[in-house]
Every structure is written in C-alpha cells, then in structure tokens.
Amino acid sequence: MGVEVVSLDCGDTLIYRVRDHHLVIFDILRSLGYELDMERVRYGFEEARLWWRGERRRTGRVWDEEARISMIERMLSIIGLSCTRGLASTIGDLWLERAEYRAYDDVEPALETLKSLGYRLIVISNSSSKRSLEVNLRRAGILGYFEVLVSSGSVGYEKPHPEIFRIASRLCHVQLDRMVHIGNDYEDDYMGASNAGMNAILLDREGRYADKNCIRVRRLVEVSRIIEKLC
C-alpha cells in the first residue's frame, strides 16, 4: 500500500511573502487617512505580534480570524489610534486583500510532477482561515492544484497537534499511513506529521536543520523521487 495523498504546508513551503506585513498595514492606514510614521507602525506590529505569542502560550488559543482581529486591535492601541472593532475588521479585510505572495520557483514544476505521477495534492496550514489560505494560494497562482485545504483557524487545531492531520485524513478518505506531509518546520511539519502516523519530508531550503535525523530535501522538486521509494 503506497502513498496516495501528498500534503504540503503553505507559507515558506509553497509561497513566500513579497512585502513585510507592517509595510502592507502602513499603506492601508494611509489609504484610510491616517498619517503615521512607518517605523511607528513597524514597532506597533512587532509588539502586537509578541503579545499574540504570549497569549498563545498562556491560553492555548489557535491563530484564527478572531485572533487576527485581536492582534490588529492591540497594534492600533500601541501606535496610539482610537481603535474600534469596525476599524480593526476593515484593516483585517484589507490586509488579506493587499498582502502579496508568490510561489517559489520550484513549486509549480514539483506540483506538476506529483500530479503526473497520480498523487492527490492537499494543503495543511497553520493559517487564520480557509478563506485566507484560498486567497493567498490563488494570488500565487497555484490554488488549482489542490483538492483539499485544511486551515488550523477553521478546524481549531494547529500543527503539530495530531488532530489537524487526522482531519485531513478524514477529508481525503485516506488512511494516514498512505499520506505524506511536506513542510519547512521541523517541529510543526515533520514531527507533527510523523507523530500523527503520516510519512514526512522536511523541506530545508536554507540548511537550518542539517543536524536533524530526518528525511530532508533542499528543493521541492526533489520530493517526487523520495515519495516513489515510499511506495
């Protein structure tokens, strides 16, 4: 019984951010009539992100749309703007609309090869919602390759929690041991998938995990030959 489904992480595996988040938000605030120093916005964004990381550790909250709006509210407060829920929601919608993402150069060749070999392709991502995942993949021009999108913010579990991988298995109607997950984070992607009972491959574009004893590739186009061996 071989691999039927190939699952991929999204951010920094399939796509990368073209502009830093604080630059996008700076432009949004200016378009809404707020004249602010860019450094002030950067500081506010970074402090709000630190707050969210602490909140996640303290409460176990999952990064979802509600958390995203809460972080924006915190950022607005830090930079001294009178914050309303409506303003934070507007900024959140515009942030999703104006964020710029591109696919890595090796992504489409890798996806084309995997498709041609008969594998079903899905995405498992720690993203705020399925909608945001769809928007970002569409903007990068690769949404059409995937039949299932699993977003942590929509299902309520984040990688490396095994349940997010189990949910993907149920949605695909395929057993976990007939799936392989590929991602760029050792704990979230490689260990998360392995502990859930999936095959796993670590995409290590920058060589950060050379000391790890795991199946590791530097480019996504390398994965098809490894998956073929799993079969």
Clarify whether residues 114 and 218 are in a common domain: yes
Element (H, E) at 88: helix 85-98
Single out the residue in 98, 113, 128 at which a domain terminates.
98
- Domain boundary residue among 98, 119, 149? 98
Give the predicted TM-score (pTM) of the model: 0.94
Task: Let me know whether 79 and 106 are in one domain.
Answer: no
Mean pLDDT of the chain: 96
Are 32 and 119 contained in the same domain? no
Question: Under DSSP, is residue 62 helix (H, G, I), strand (E, B) or coil?
Answer: coil
**Residue 107 shares a structural domain with residue 215:** yes
pLDDT score recorded for residue 231: 65
Q: What is the pLDDT of residues 182-196, one digit of tens each?
A: 999 999 999 999 999
**Within this chain, do residues 133 and 166 fall inside the same structural domain, yes or no?**
yes
Q: What is the spatial distance between Cα 81 and Cα 200, in angstroms, rounded to a whole number?
A: 45
CATH code at position 149? 3.40.50.1000
Residue segments in the chain with a per-residue pLDDT below the cut of 70 = 1, 231
Structural domain that includes position 165: 5-17+101-230
Q: Which of 72, 98, 124 is the last residue of a domain?
A: 98
CA-CA distances (angstroms) from residue 142 to 26, 31, 53, 85, 125? 28, 29, 30, 33, 15
Q: Which two tokens stand for residue 169?
A: 């298995």
Same domain for 206 and 135:
yes
pLDDT of residue 74: 95
pLDDT digits (tens, 9 = 90+) for 202-225: 999 999 999 999 999 999 999 999
Do 108 and 219 fall into the same domain?
yes
One domain, residues 34 and 13: no
CB 205 within 8 A of CB 9: no
Is 58 found in the same domain as 36? yes
Same domain, 138 and 215: yes
Residue 12: count other Cβ atoms within 10 Å of its Cβ: 15
Same domain, 62 and 136: no
Number of domains the chain is built from: 2
Place of tokens 């699993």: 150
82-87: Cβ within 8 A, 24+ apart: 87/32
Q: What is the pLDDT of residue 85?
A: 87
Instruction: Look at residue 1 in the predicted model and tell me its pLDDT.
Output: 56
Q: What per-residue confidence (pLDDT) applies to 65?
A: 95
State the pLDDT at residue 229: 84
pLDDT number for residue 84: 81
pLDDT in the model for residue 64: 96
Spatial contact of 186 and 214, defined as CB atoms under 8 Å apart: yes
Burial of 164 (0-12, 13-18, 19+ CB in 10 A): buried
**Burial (CB count within 10 angstroms: exposed 0-12, middle 13-18, buried 19+), residue 220:** buried
Pair 13, 59 in one domain: no
